[in-house]
Amino acid sequence: MTAETRFTTAPEPATASQVAEQIVHLARLVHGGTSDQCLTPAQWTALRYFARANRFSRTPSAFSEFHATTRGTASQTVKSLISAGLLERHANQSDGRSSLIEVTPAGHEKLQNDPLSALTRAIDLLPEAERARFTAVIAHLATRLARERTAPLFGNCGDCGHCDTTDSGPAYCRCTQSLLAQEDMNALCVDFSPAAPNLR
């Protein structure tokens, strides 16, 4: 369409605010509707979090920060999942105040029916190149918004500025002063600090 042919009723491209609304709507559709109703959205988020977080971040406090809520509320959510048999509490050897939360086998099984999987499948079906770009943009937006809200970023250890990767052998985290296993490299960490900007 050229500049001359401007129809009075031509649709305009979606504005940024319309896209923002659509993102919020998308997130709501995940937990709304005919999905698995046995868990509340907060409980699903907690279960997902403890399945994804590294061993330094599997605490009620870290989850409360991730979920942008209070420690009291997070404590209740964790308690409900423990009594449902989906989470387990373990003592932290080095800190008597803290406790380490683990997902039980029943919890992992429950995650097979995660209502989020509908969105996951849709993303998986994107063309490879499209998905890579989309992933980068989402990460970029999350970083910007978290910084503005002064909320922690919660990225993967592998992308973290605290992480020293050597050419061979395990990586080392300067923040927690410990070696990182392979599985830690793709786990969420409360102390995450991006190593490099996601988008120029």
Partner DNA sequence: CTATATAGTAGCGATACGAAACAATATTGA
Partner DNA sequence: TCAATATTGTTTCGTATCGCTACTATATAG
- 61 interacts with DNA by CB under 7 A: yes
Report residue 167 as tokens.
Answer: 């050419």
190: partner contacted, choices a second copy, DNA, none (Cβ within 5-8 A by kind) = none
What mask, x for binding DNA by CB under 7 A, covers residues 78 to 117? xxx--------x--x-xxxxxx------------------
What gap in Å lies between CA 124 and CA 105, rounded to an integer? 25
Q: Residue 194: beta bridge partners?
A: 160
Q: Give the nearest distance from C-beta 27 to a second copy in angstroms.
A: 3
Q: Give the nearest distance from C-beta 40 to a second copy in angstroms.
A: 14
Q: Report the site for DNA in 142-161 (rule: CB under 7 A).
A: none
- 72 interacts with DNA by CB under 7 A: yes
Choose among 162, 192, 188, 194: nearest CA to 54.
Answer: 188
79: partner contacted, choices a second copy, DNA, none (Cβ within 5-8 A by kind) = DNA
141: partner contacted, choices DNA, a second copy, none (Cβ within 5-8 A by kind) = a second copy
61: partner contacted, choices DNA, a second copy, none (Cβ within 5-8 A by kind) = DNA
| Sites of contact with DNA (CB under 7 A) | 32, 40-43, 59-62, 68-73, 75-80, 89, 92, 94-99
